[in-house]
Amino acid sequence: MNRSRIVSTAPIDRIARDILEQIAPVEISPAPDEKTMLGMLENTIALVARGVEGGVTGQMIRACPTLRVIGRPGAGYDNVDVATATEHQIPVVYAPVAGFAVAEGALALLLTLVKKIPLCDSIVKSGQWKKRYELTTGDMAEKTLGIIGCGRIGARLAQLAQPFGLKILGYDPCVSESLFKDFVMEMVSLRKLLQESDYISIHVPLTRDTQGLIDKESIALMKRGAILINTARGGVVKNLDVLADALESGQLGAVGLDVFPVEPPDSTHRLFKDPRLVCAPHLLGVSDLAMDRIYRSMSQDMVAVLGGKQPKYCVNPQVLKQ
């Protein structure tokens, strides 16, 4: 009897289960922690690393001699020990196919903060209509948007933002100068972007180089009253304190977050008492269309690997058999 199975650290959509179950039954772990997962690895041929907290650790990979592929439903894979997977010749497939949803989410946060929607909403609902005469809202036209990270998501945000009449600056050390001509933004140094942007949106992966990239020193370079958006990875911002300090001092005018240095964040932190913060629970990229594309792509690539074929998106393609 074939006792092989596929295990996910957390629930996955039906479309992914339908595709994966062509190969083996899919089981969902009752909890995403390493201890629980270690008890579910017998005869496991594939792992799905669902959610930021649902990682695949080196210990899990070493404890699973039957493992043949790891799937990550999304563009980020910092919760998978890729080095250990590569050492054991295990392909890690991911799904960078839904950047449009994250870009839309970043733009939504920006518009919400520029136009002060939460404040306006609270004024009407609390019966303080006359406060409208004490307020103004911000503009997109004739302002400068700085995009840190100009891959699929950052480039898409630039396209979405262009009709608003913004000047758009981009910074990405990994983008070749030969590609600049295809961008609807001016590529500049990080320092210049920080100094000249009214609004800044982060779209870089979490690496050793980007860990804590936004800290006290980088915020000090920004225009006073700048708006900062982060829909990338929480660890790109050093900690919640630097954001709270910047809001309290007025160095930042507002902050929009879909991601946090630690998830879930400590909601008792003073940052969450500031009305100039608007946030979401790492959810802005989880649209209906995005998740359908992500789960189809990931599960089809996992099936490809298990069938001895080449996946479309692989983090460590050097382990694939040609």
Q: What is the pLDDT of residues 205-239, one digit of tens each?
A: 888 999 999 999 999 999 999 999 999 999 999 99
In this structure, the answer to whether residues 152 and 218 fall within a common structural domain is yes
Q: What is the pTM of this model?
A: 0.86
Average of per-residue pLDDT values in the chain = 94
Return the CATH number at 311: 3.40.50.720
Output the pLDDT for position 174.
80
Residues 121, 235, single domain; the answer is yes
Q: For residue range 278-296, list pLDDT tens digits in order.
A: 999 999 998 999 999 999 9
- 124 and 225 fall within a common domain: yes
- Nearest of 27, 151, 32, 16 to residue 71 by alpha carbon: 16
Whether residues 169 and 275 fall in one domain = yes
| Catalytic-residue membership of 233 | yes
pLDDT at position 169: 96
Active site residue 269: no
- Can 263 be counted among the known catalytic residues? yes
| Together in a domain, 62 and 168 | no
User: Do 90 and 200 share a structural domain?
Assistant: no
Q: Which of 5, 17, 233, 276 is catalytic?
A: 233
Say whether both 221 and 129 belong to one domain: yes
In this prediction, residue 1 has a pLDDT band, given cuts at 50, 70 and 90, of very low
- Band (pLDDT 50/70/90 cuts) for residue 181 is low
State the pairing for strand pair 226-230/26-28: unpaired
Query: Rounded to whole angstroms, what are the CA distances from 266 to 65, 260, 271?
Result: 37, 10, 10
Share of residues in the chain with pLDDT > 90 (%): 88
Q: What is the pLDDT of residues 236-264, one digit of tens each?
A: 999 999 999 999 999 999 999 999 999 89
Cite the DSSP H helix spans in the chain: 14-20, 34-38, 58-62, 82-87, 99-114, 117-125, 152-161, 190-196, 216-221, 240-249, 288-306
Q: Are residues 116 and 215 in the same domain?
A: yes
Number of domains in the chain: 2
Same domain assignment for residues 106 and 225: yes
Which pLDDT tens digit goes with each residue over 3-16?
A: 899 999 999 999 99
- Are 90 and 187 a contacting pair, CB within 8 Å? no
Segment 76-99 shows an average pLDDT of 94
Same domain, 85 and 223: no
217 lies in which domain range? 99-279
Per-residue pLDDT, averaged over 23-45, amounts to 95
* pLDDT for 54: 76
What is the DSSP track for 41-108?
-TTEEEEE--STT--B-HHHHHT-TT--EEEESSS--TTB-HHHHHHTT--EEE----HHHHHHHHHH
Same domain, 33 and 92: yes
Q: Report the distance separating Cα 238 and Cα 128, nearest Å.
A: 37
Active-site pick, 88, 263, 269, 293: 263
Which pLDDT score is estimated for 2? 56
- Has residue 87 got a pLDDT over 80? yes
One domain for residues 165 and 89? no
